[in-house]
């Protein structure tokens, strides 16, 4: 606790500039449902990339390469916005 | 330029001159006309504003927060139930220190339903971290709205500017409108401290802070409000220097040798002014202290000013339903506690739901204050 800042050192409006703090917080641990992506079915329309609130859709050179499970909270928005005919993402229950 | 404007028209006119980047709003009586008239300015191309018609006041304030967080000069207008529906979002704008500016046409809160003036709406929002300004006349509302933009940006605090519903919002008064270009030059461009859309400086807005940092962030926000008063005064002085119209945090009217004064906010100050004149003619040593700034509360100035008098009648156009006294009285009493030469403080609640409050009512309060202590803890003026 010793390295916590005093109120006088905090930025106005509670903004966070240190993105490391954001990256260190692996919110994927909160997940109860996990997205399972099928590379074969995926047409790389990247609609899931647009909608993902956690920037967990990994893309390289315009193509989806996977889902970053360190930060994916399992909200299922990617599966919901994936075109019906494509159906490249399934939500499955997380098991220990 | 001399114009005849209702309060709502004058507030909309001020918004036109301010030319905000974004206005997101939802209509509600008695402030509807402010955005209705402003939307005409948008349609006619007289402003550069992006106008967002939303589906509720909660959404209006949410859109304003998104806009302000993206570095835009942002305004809306509302009243009563609308401000109440924004309540959750008001705290978020306060905590994020976003300088959103909102004219409100102050109106009572349901139930029972009533559309007329009192200060229940803004005073119920007093702990949300917003600056609050109360106005006596249409011109004061117009000037205060323009000043509030500069104050909000200087202090990184959102601001409410209150004109009393119907009494000011719908009544026409003479105003001396300021030169539009001069207003825009005086305000200058908005330079936000940060901007969510600045890709060169990525930031996280609205983080979760638990037991480790929430308290510290709140303490920092409190300091923002505590240190706002001198900045508010600087803007008032700068406004006076530029436009020739001066306002204080509070105004003393004929207080020089006064023994008893009335302290109040809003349009009823006009009635009190007349009552003071009438009693002065009869030799009564009375005066009025009109409080213009409720947040940041000028507690030191209140203490310094009010300890000069023998008796102070505090008039509240709202009641906290706490079975004791009105909200303004509470804050004035707290400001005076422990002071030497404390005046006798009398509590009056008046004008709820637009109940008529006349110069006669005001004169009776002053006469009572001259006479000294009264039997009741609170006097409910004009209630049957």
Supply the pLDDT for residue B187: 98
A5 touches chain B (CB under 8 A): yes
**Residue where one domain finishes, among candidates B189, B207, B241:** B241
Residue A96 has pLDDT above 80, yes or no: no
% of chain A exceeding 90 in pLDDT: 81
Contact B70, B41 (CB under 8 A): no
Residues 131-160 of B with CB under 8 A from A: 156
Q: Is the pLDDT of residue A45 over 70?
A: yes
| Same domain? B34 vs B171 | yes
Strands (E) located in B152-254 = 159-164, 172-176, 250-253
Are the CB atoms for B106 and B119 separated by under 8 Å? Answer: yes
- State residue B344's pLDDT score: 95
Pick from B97, B148, B94, B87: which is nearest to B120 by CA?
B87
Chain B interface disruption, residue of A15, A55, A71, most B CBs within 10 A:
A15
B50 and B114, same structural domain? yes
**Does residue B328 share a domain with residue B282?**
yes
Question: What tokens were used for B58?
Answer: 């909660």
Indicate the pLDDT class of residue A21, thresholds 50, 70 and 90.
confident
Look at residue B322 in the predicted model and tell me its pLDDT: 79
- The residue written with tokens 């967002």 in the block is B52
Tell me how far apart the alpha carbons of residues B158 and B61 are, in angstroms, rounded to a whole number. Answer: 11
Give dist(CA B188, CA B195) in Å, integer. 18
Kind of pairing between the strands at B22-25 and B74-75: parallel
Rounded-to-integer distance, Cα B130 and Cα B48, Å: 26
Partner-chain contact B212 A19, CB within 8 Å:
no
Per-residue confidence (pLDDT) for residue A2, from 0 to 100: 60
- Same-domain pairing of B189 and B302: no
Residues of B with CB below 8 A from A7's CB?
A: 215-217, 219-220, 223
* Chain B residues whose beta carbon lies within 8 Å of the beta carbon of residue A3: none
**Cβ-based neighbours of A20, under 8 Å, separated by 6 or more:** none
Looking at the structure, do residues B230 and B274 belong to the same domain, yes or no? no
Task: Find, in chain A, the residue whose alpha carbon is nearest to that of B193.
Answer: A12
Q: Which of B207, B208, B214 to mutate to test the interface with A (most CBs of A within 10 A)?
A: B207
Of B212, B241, B270, which marks where a domain is finished? B241
pLDDT of residue B242: 98
Q: Do A10 and B224 touch (CB under 8 A)?
A: no
Q: Is the pLDDT of residue A18 over 90?
A: no
First-to-last CA distance in chain B? 45
Selection from B13, B142, B125, B12 nearest residue B77 by Cα:
B12
Query: B260 and B167: one domain?
Result: no
Domain residue limits, chain A: 30-93
- Burial class, B329, CB count within 10 angstroms (exposed 0-12 / middle 13-18 / buried 19+): buried
According to CATH, the topology of domain A30-93 is: Alpha-Beta Plaits (3.30.70)
Q: Which of B129, B126, B107 is nearest to B118 (CA)?
A: B107
- CATH number of the domain bearing residue B352: 3.40.50.920
Residue A26 neighbours by CB distance under 10 Å: 10
HSE toward the beta carbon, residue B263, CA cutoff 13 A: 29
Q: Is the same domain home to B233 and B258?
A: no
| Blockwise average pLDDT, block size 10, chain B, 384 residues | 98 98 98 98 98 98 98 98 98 98 98 97 97 98 98 98 98 98 98 93 90 96 98 98 97 97 98 98 98 98 98 96 89 96 96 97 96 84 94
Domain count, chain B: 2
CATH of the domain at B109: 3.40.50.970
| Mutation for B interface: A5, A8, A11, A12, most B CBs within 10 A | A12
Question: Tokens in use for B236?
Answer: 């008032």
Q: Among B207, B224, B241, which residue terminates a domain?
A: B241
Same structural domain for residues B232 and B258?
no
Cα radius of gyration rounded to whole Å, chain B: 21
Whether B225 and B298 map to the same domain: the answer is no
Instruction: Specify the pLDDT at position A1.
Output: 52
**Mean pLDDT over residues A17-21, rounded?**
82
Distance of CA A59 to the CA centre of its chain: 12
Q: Which domain holds residue B374?
A: 250-380
Average pLDDT of chain A to the nearest whole number = 93
C-alpha span between B250 and B297 (Å, rounded): 10
Chain A residue numbers with beta carbons less than 8 Å from the beta carbon of B194 are 13, 15
- Is residue A3 within 8 A of residue A21, CB to CB? The reply is no
- Asked if B316 contacts B329 with a C-beta cutoff of 8 angstroms, the reply is yes
**Looking at the predicted structure, is the pLDDT value of residue A51 above 70?**
yes
Are B56 and B118 found together in one domain? yes
Residues B275 and B215 in one domain: no
Let me know whether B197 and B82 are in one domain: yes
pLDDT value of position B104: 98
């Amino acid at each position: 606790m010793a390295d916590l800042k005093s109120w006088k050192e905090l930025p106005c409006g509670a903004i966070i500039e240190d993105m490391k703090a954001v990256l260190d917080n692996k919110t994927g641990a909160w997940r109860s449902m996990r997205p399972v992506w099928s590379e074969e079915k995926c047409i790389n329309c990247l609609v899931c990339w647009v909608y993902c609130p956690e920037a967990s859709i990994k893309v390289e050179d315009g193509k989806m390469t996977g889902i970053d499970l360190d930060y994916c909270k399992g909200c299922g928005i990617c599966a919901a916005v994936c075109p019906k005919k494509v159906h490249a993402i399934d939500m499955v229950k997380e098991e220990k | 330029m001399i114009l005849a404007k209702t309060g709502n028209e004058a507030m909309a006119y001020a918004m036109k001159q301010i030319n905000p980047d974004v206005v997101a709003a939802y209509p509600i009586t008695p402030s509807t006309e402010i955005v209705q008239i402003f939307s005409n300015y948008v349609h006619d191309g007289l402003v550069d504003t992006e106008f967002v018609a939303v589906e509720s006041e909660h959404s209006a304030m949410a859109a304003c927060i998104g806009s302000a967080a993206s570095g835009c000069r942002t305004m809306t207008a509302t009243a009563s139930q609308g401000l109440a529906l924004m309540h959750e979002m008001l705290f978020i704008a306060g905590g994020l220190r976003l300088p959103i500016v909102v004219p409100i046409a102050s109106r009572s809160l349901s139930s029972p339903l009533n559309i007329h003036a009192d200060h229940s709406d803004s005073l119920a929002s007093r702990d949300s971290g917003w600056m609050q300004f109360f106005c006596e006349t249409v011109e004061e509302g117009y000037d205060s709205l323009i000043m509030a933009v500069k104050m909000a940006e200087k202090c990184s605090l959102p601001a409410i500017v209150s004109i009393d519903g119907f009494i000011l919002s719908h009544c026409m008064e003479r105003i001396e409108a300021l030169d539009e270009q001069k207003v825009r030059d005086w305000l200058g461009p908005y330079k936000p401290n940060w901007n969510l859309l600045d890709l060169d400086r990525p930031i996280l807005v609205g983080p979760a802070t638990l037991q480790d940092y929430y308290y510290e962030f709140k303490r920092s926000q409190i300091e923002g409000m505590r240190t706002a008063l001198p900045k508010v005064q600087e803007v008032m002085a700068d406004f006076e220097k530029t436009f020739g119209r001066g306002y204080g945090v509070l105004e003393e009217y004929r207080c020089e040798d006064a023994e008893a004064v009335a302290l109040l906010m809003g349009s009823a100050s006009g009635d009190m002014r007349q009552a003071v004149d009438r009693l002065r003619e009869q030799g009564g040593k009375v005066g009025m202290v009109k409080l213009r700034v409720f947040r940041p509360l000028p507690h030191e100035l209140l203490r310094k000013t009010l300890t000069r008098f023998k008796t102070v009648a505090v008039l509240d156009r709202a009641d906290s339903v706490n079975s004791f006294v009105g909200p303004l009285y509470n804050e004035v009493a707290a400001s005076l506690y422990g002071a030497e030469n404390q005046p006798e403080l009398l509590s009056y609640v008046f004008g709820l739901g637009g109940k008529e409050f006349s110069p006669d009512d005001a004169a009776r309060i002053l006469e009572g204050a001259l006479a000294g202590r009264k039997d009741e803890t609170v006097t409910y003026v004009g209630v049957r």
